[in-house]
Amino acid sequence: MNCSLKKIFILIIAQCFCVIAFSQNVQDSVVIVDTTDASVYRDMDLSKEYQGFKNTNITIRPPKHFMEFSSDEVSGFLNTGTAASIVGFEYKDVPYIGFYENVADSAFSAVDNAKFLGFEETKTLAGYQAKFYFYGFVVDKVDIIRIMFVTGDEKQMIFLQANYPAGFDMLLRPVIVQSLLSVEF
């Protein structure tokens, strides 16, 4: 071998040694996350603090990057990047049991050409019975998804509603559902 080939060979061996030596991780700094439970990731997409709806006793952990808004009629959270919104209503002295279907039906019938997509019975993180209703409709040629969430107890009913463009459904639905399940009242 001539001198230049020896130098190249030594340089390649030195690079391999550096790659092997410096690519090792310290095991104490590695965090292993159980990827079988996607709620871990959805939880990381929620704000850390509970935030309230104005003029109600309702609080949720809204999704990150949702900002608070309110008017005389409604208050909630809005994401300007996706045009997604979450609004909340509190019905005191109206028991949750048996009344939620009438609220969801009236909210559904108020939208022209709305299509029922399904519902899900569940419990909030605080343990209250709850129902999700999923609807689709079109506004100005844009497909919209509406999630209506109803929960409460024998003294009051909580009605939360989220709207967002259908194109963001796979991205927003899991996070918004997780946010609504965090409701406290």
For the chain, domain boundaries = 39-181
Which residues partner with 88 through β-bridges?
Answer: 160
Q: Which amino acid is at 143?
A: D
Level-2 CATH architecture, domain 39-181: 3-Layer(aba) Sandwich (3.40)
137-150 confidence digits (pLDDT tens): 999 999 999 999 99
Residues 6+ apart with CB under 8 A from 152: 91, 94, 95, 96, 100, 128, 158, 185
Q: Compute, in degrees rounded to 10, the torsion defined by CA atoms 109, 114, 118, 122.
A: -50
pLDDT at 98 over 80: no
pLDDT at 78: 97
47-71 confidence digits (pLDDT tens): 999 999 999 999 999 999 999 999 9
pLDDT at 72: 87
pLDDT at 132: 95
Spatial separation of the C-alpha atoms in residues 120 and 49, rounded to whole Å: 26
pLDDT at 89: 95
Q: What are the structure tokens assigned to 114, written together?
A: 């709305």
Q: Which amino acid is at 90?
A: E
pLDDT at 114: 87
Q: Name the nearest CA neighbour of 69 among 51, 81, 57, 92.
A: 51
